[in-house]
Amino acid sequence: MKKKYFLIIVSLAISLFIYLFYRTEKTVVTDLFISLISLDRYFGLKECIISNLTLNEHIINSLPEGLWVFCITLTSKNLFLKIGNREINLLFLPLIFSIGLEFFQLFKLTNGRFDFWDIGFSVAFWAIANYLVKHENSRQNIFKPLNTNSFICILSYLIVYLAHVW
Protein backbone atom coordinates (compact mmCIF):
# COMPACT_ATOMS: atom_id res chain seq x y z
CA MET A 1 0.00 0.00 0.00
CA LYS A 2 2.79 2.43 0.84
CA LYS A 3 4.46 1.76 -2.53
CA LYS A 4 1.24 2.69 -4.34
CA TYR A 5 0.94 6.04 -2.55
CA PHE A 6 4.63 6.77 -3.09
CA LEU A 7 4.17 6.18 -6.84
CA ILE A 8 1.11 8.44 -6.84
CA ILE A 9 2.92 11.28 -5.03
CA VAL A 10 5.97 11.09 -7.30
CA SER A 11 3.84 10.94 -10.46
CA LEU A 12 1.70 13.90 -9.44
CA ALA A 13 4.81 15.88 -8.42
CA ILE A 14 6.39 15.32 -11.85
CA SER A 15 3.15 16.39 -13.54
CA LEU A 16 2.92 19.48 -11.34
CA PHE A 17 6.52 20.42 -12.17
CA ILE A 18 5.84 20.14 -15.90
CA TYR A 19 2.61 22.12 -15.64
CA LEU A 20 4.18 24.88 -13.57
CA PHE A 21 7.30 25.46 -15.62
CA TYR A 22 6.76 24.11 -19.16
CA ARG A 23 3.10 24.71 -19.91
CA THR A 24 1.11 27.93 -20.19
CA GLU A 25 0.84 30.30 -17.24
CA LYS A 26 -2.92 30.30 -17.76
CA THR A 27 -3.64 27.02 -15.97
CA VAL A 28 -5.40 27.11 -12.63
CA VAL A 29 -2.48 25.50 -10.78
CA THR A 30 0.07 27.93 -12.24
CA ASP A 31 -2.15 30.89 -11.46
CA LEU A 32 -2.40 29.71 -7.85
CA PHE A 33 1.38 29.23 -7.69
CA ILE A 34 2.01 32.72 -9.08
CA SER A 35 -0.32 34.21 -6.48
CA LEU A 36 1.82 32.56 -3.78
CA ILE A 37 5.28 33.62 -4.99
CA SER A 38 4.67 36.67 -7.29
CA LEU A 39 4.80 36.95 -11.06
CA ASP A 40 8.40 38.21 -11.17
CA ARG A 41 9.73 35.36 -9.02
CA TYR A 42 7.74 32.86 -11.05
CA PHE A 43 9.16 34.02 -14.39
CA GLY A 44 12.70 34.08 -12.96
CA LEU A 45 12.33 30.55 -11.61
CA LYS A 46 10.72 29.33 -14.83
CA GLU A 47 13.51 30.76 -16.99
CA CYS A 48 16.17 29.21 -14.74
CA ILE A 49 14.53 25.79 -14.87
CA ILE A 50 13.83 25.80 -18.61
CA SER A 51 17.37 26.94 -19.46
CA ASN A 52 18.91 24.18 -17.32
CA LEU A 53 16.52 21.32 -18.09
CA THR A 54 15.25 20.92 -21.62
CA LEU A 55 12.36 18.53 -22.09
CA ASN A 56 11.04 16.85 -25.22
CA GLU A 57 7.74 18.18 -26.59
CA HIS A 58 5.98 14.83 -25.94
CA ILE A 59 7.19 14.82 -22.35
CA ILE A 60 5.83 18.34 -21.86
CA ASN A 61 2.51 17.79 -23.61
CA SER A 62 1.61 14.13 -22.99
CA LEU A 63 3.47 12.79 -19.95
CA PRO A 64 1.37 14.66 -17.34
CA GLU A 65 -1.84 13.12 -18.66
CA GLY A 66 -0.23 9.68 -18.78
CA LEU A 67 0.96 10.05 -15.19
CA TRP A 68 -2.48 11.22 -14.10
CA VAL A 69 -4.04 8.14 -15.72
CA PHE A 70 -1.41 6.01 -13.95
CA CYS A 71 -2.34 7.51 -10.56
CA ILE A 72 -6.07 7.29 -11.00
CA THR A 73 -5.80 3.71 -12.29
CA LEU A 74 -3.85 2.71 -9.19
CA THR A 75 -6.60 4.06 -6.95
CA SER A 76 -9.45 2.74 -9.14
CA LYS A 77 -8.18 -0.83 -9.48
CA ASN A 78 -10.61 -2.58 -7.16
CA LEU A 79 -13.26 0.10 -6.82
CA PHE A 80 -16.78 -0.06 -8.18
CA LEU A 81 -19.81 2.20 -8.18
CA LYS A 82 -23.10 0.57 -7.26
CA ILE A 83 -26.17 1.99 -8.94
CA GLY A 84 -29.28 0.02 -8.06
CA ASN A 85 -28.38 -3.63 -8.54
CA ARG A 86 -25.58 -2.89 -11.01
CA GLU A 87 -21.90 -2.61 -10.19
CA ILE A 88 -19.75 -0.49 -12.49
CA ASN A 89 -16.06 -1.42 -12.39
CA LEU A 90 -14.06 1.83 -12.12
CA LEU A 91 -10.85 0.32 -13.50
CA PHE A 92 -11.63 1.51 -17.02
CA LEU A 93 -12.93 4.95 -16.01
CA PRO A 94 -9.49 6.65 -16.25
CA LEU A 95 -9.17 5.53 -19.88
CA ILE A 96 -12.72 6.57 -20.73
CA PHE A 97 -12.22 9.92 -19.00
CA SER A 98 -8.85 10.75 -20.62
CA ILE A 99 -9.80 9.61 -24.12
CA GLY A 100 -13.17 11.35 -23.74
CA LEU A 101 -11.39 14.62 -22.88
CA GLU A 102 -9.26 14.27 -25.99
CA PHE A 103 -12.36 13.95 -28.15
CA PHE A 104 -13.96 16.91 -26.36
CA GLN A 105 -10.86 18.85 -27.42
CA LEU A 106 -11.13 17.55 -30.98
CA PHE A 107 -14.70 18.80 -31.24
CA LYS A 108 -13.83 22.10 -29.47
CA LEU A 109 -16.13 21.34 -26.53
CA THR A 110 -13.30 22.17 -24.11
CA ASN A 111 -9.96 23.99 -24.16
CA GLY A 112 -6.90 22.19 -25.42
CA ARG A 113 -5.86 20.41 -28.56
CA PHE A 114 -6.55 16.83 -29.59
CA ASP A 115 -3.39 14.73 -29.61
CA PHE A 116 -2.93 11.03 -30.42
CA TRP A 117 0.22 11.09 -28.26
CA ASP A 118 -1.94 11.91 -25.23
CA ILE A 119 -4.10 8.88 -25.95
CA GLY A 120 -1.00 6.71 -26.42
CA PHE A 121 0.53 7.86 -23.13
CA SER A 122 -2.79 7.34 -21.35
CA VAL A 123 -3.19 3.78 -22.63
CA ALA A 124 0.44 2.91 -21.86
CA PHE A 125 0.33 4.26 -18.31
CA TRP A 126 -3.07 2.64 -17.70
CA ALA A 127 -1.58 -0.71 -18.73
CA ILE A 128 1.48 -0.21 -16.51
CA ALA A 129 -0.69 0.63 -13.49
CA ASN A 130 -3.11 -2.19 -14.17
CA TYR A 131 -0.75 -5.02 -15.10
CA LEU A 132 2.66 -4.21 -13.60
CA VAL A 133 1.90 -2.63 -10.23
CA LYS A 134 0.62 -5.25 -7.79
CA HIS A 135 -2.36 -4.35 -5.68
CA GLU A 136 -3.64 -6.00 -2.50
CA ASN A 137 -6.92 -4.15 -1.83
CA SER A 138 -10.19 -6.05 -1.98
CA ARG A 139 -13.14 -4.92 -4.08
CA GLN A 140 -14.93 -1.94 -2.58
CA ASN A 141 -17.76 0.44 -3.35
CA ILE A 142 -16.12 3.84 -3.91
CA PHE A 143 -18.51 5.58 -1.48
CA LYS A 144 -19.15 2.83 1.10
CA PRO A 145 -17.08 3.13 3.16
CA LEU A 146 -15.29 6.29 2.10
CA ASN A 147 -11.68 5.48 3.02
CA THR A 148 -8.22 6.80 2.10
CA ASN A 149 -8.10 4.97 -1.24
CA SER A 150 -11.56 6.03 -2.40
CA PHE A 151 -10.96 9.61 -1.20
CA ILE A 152 -7.67 9.80 -3.17
CA CYS A 153 -9.44 8.34 -6.21
CA ILE A 154 -12.14 11.03 -6.09
CA LEU A 155 -9.56 13.75 -5.40
CA SER A 156 -7.50 12.57 -8.39
CA TYR A 157 -10.40 13.29 -10.71
CA LEU A 158 -10.71 16.78 -9.23
CA ILE A 159 -7.00 17.39 -9.98
CA VAL A 160 -7.92 17.58 -13.67
CA TYR A 161 -9.45 20.98 -12.93
CA LEU A 162 -6.04 22.32 -11.86
CA ALA A 163 -4.78 21.73 -15.41
CA HIS A 164 -7.68 23.70 -16.87
CA VAL A 165 -6.69 26.75 -18.91
CA TRP A 166 -8.52 29.95 -17.95
- The predicted-structure confidence for 77-132, as pLDDT tens digits, reads as follows 889 999 999 999 999 999 999 999 999 999 999 888 899 999 999 999 999 999 99
Q: Of 164, 166, 163, nearest to 67 (Cα)?
A: 163
pLDDT value for 166: 58
Confidence of residue 63 (pLDDT cuts 50, 70, 90): very high
Amino acid at 64: P
CA distance 24 to 22: 7
Mean pLDDT within 141-164: 86
pTM, full prediction: 0.90
Burial of 13 (0-12, 13-18, 19+ CB in 10 A): exposed
Give per-residue pLDDT as tens, 9-60. 999 999 999 999 999 998 899 999 999 999 999 999 999 999 999 999 999 9
b (16+ CB within 10 A) / e for 29-50: bbeebbeeeeeeebeeebeeee
CA distance 151 to 164: 21
Radius of gyration of the chain (CA): 17
| The Cα angle at residue 102 between residues 129 and 60, in degrees rounded to 5 | 70
Determine contact, residues 75/156, Cβ cutoff 8 Å.
Answer: yes
Helix (H, G, I), strand (E, B) or coil at 68: helix
Q: Cα separations (Å) of 86 from 75, 82, 141?
A: 21, 6, 11
Provide the terminal-to-terminal Cα distance of the chain, rounded to the nearest Å.
36
CA atoms within 13 A on the CB side of 34: 17
pLDDT value for 1: 58
Q: Of 118, 95, 93, nearest to 106 (Cα)?
A: 118
